[in-house]
Chain A
Amino acid sequence: MRAEALKGHLDGLILATLQGGPAHGYVIAQALRARSEGAFDLPEGTLYPALHRLERAGLVTSEWSTQAGRRRRTYRLTRAGEKTLDERRLEWRVLANAIEAVLA
């Protein structure tokens, strides 16, 4: 699936991935690919601007840790992020049902 098609949904997808627990960028990228069975093959670099944007909006927090001598930034969902994720899910269900009703 092209990155363009995911535009507008990327934030929700990242939040959903983080609902499973704190993760760093690489793990989030892998999880997105695995959970979509390879359909979401977006440029992985675009995740980081999105993560920073979500952090500025207060939807995720992050902290440094050191793993095998490397600095790693781990992201965690906030309460506001969980609330936003619920809203995104609801919006998506309404949209998906409407599209399904028209296309089917």
Chain B
Amino acid sequence: MNRTLLIAIREFKAVVFTKGFVLGILLTPVMVLVGVLAVKLIPEAPEMKVKVALIDQSGVTSDFARKRFGSEGAQAEAQRAAAEMTRQIDQATGQMGLNGPAVDAAKSQMQSTAAMVTGGAKSIALEVLDPSSNVDELKNQVKNAQVGLGAPQLMAVVVVPKEAVSGPLVEGKWPEHQVFIHPKLDFQIASIINRRMGDAIVDARITSDPRFSGAQLSPEAVRATFARPDPTPQALGREGDKPSMGAVQMIVPFAMMILLMLSVMTGGQYLMTALVEEKSNRVMEVLLSAVSPMQLMTGKIIGMMCVALLILTIYGGAGIAGLIVANLVDLIETSKLIWLAIFFFCAFFTIASMMAAVGAAVNDIREAQTFLTPVMLTVMLPWLMVMPISRAPNSTFATVLSFVPVMNPFVSVIRLGGSEPVPTWQLAVSAVIGVLTAFVTAWIAAKIFRIGVLMYGKPPNFTTLIRWVRMA
């Protein structure tokens, strides 16, 4: 068998067939999935039975409050919340007529969650008290209430002053009502109490205001009038108008960039760690008696490239599968995947060569940090510019950056996922620059590798590396 290939296979097996890799790379997505499912499977906590005392000094709020806290009000509130959730999901997926099972499942899940959060707390009992009730005594009752599942306990006191409904306004604002709650009251129940009382007070204000009552406008009609319209923008295209995908279209450049960085950097890190380890194990010279430094380095890079490709395939495949399930596969084009593959190879060989040179030159991982900083900065720079590049992929800035060696594969991948199509010739030029960069980096790395791999003791600096390149 070809020796370079033999080295590559050993390197691949040495990384992939380890518990660390399986746990770190393969199980991470599985764990996330299990985590999501586990949340669904956790049994709901038994509801707390809560009593709320209302002291209505306005005299008109209590009726609306009773409605809001009654079963009909809670149901209507749940329906409204569910409808709002559905609208937001539709907008997020672009209302593209895409009715995949994942979208349906998401809607159903969100609706039931909304219903649970809003209408689920049926056991909140409202008790309207005399306006002259002693507030301090009630507050003491709330403070001393036993939190438990027995008979409903007084957990909140709401005091609505007359001014909260009829005014006058103070500095343009309505005077507020007061809400006193037990410190251990569930935050969702507290939120429901607050919201329902707020709605009841607004209902009371609308009904009490002669401008509305004179015009025979109900609180619902007034609220509908004030609801802010929020239509989905229609993107104009050759195949007809389509709802704009909004933020969803950012998924692809982000995902492609993350995939590229994750696979390249993980593979590169494995390569460098393996080299440092082999150097400290003193196994390097044994290998060099059988193969040339170039064969050794190439074998290692190919082995780790397969590791990186495996990572890319696992995460990329999972991502594409997710898009297929969500019926969003239109976001991905085959040509883009091909370009992604091309830029992956350019980026990987460049970064891996750098990592190989660093791994061969240093004695331990600590020493490697000095050399890794510029490598990391070069890779991180495009990452920091994802937003401006993907929003204007054909800007002069993005175009020029996609021709700058080392970072060009990363920038080109972001441009590919951006909002405008990138001219093919620019991608081709970037790919050629990427290939040339990979070759030059590998050539320099091989020179450093040949000398560094047998050097022990004083850690080298950049000047030493340059000298090695000249020497080899």
Decide if A and B are genuine partners. no
Interface positions of A (Cβ within 8 A of B): none
Interface positions of B (Cβ within 8 A of A): none
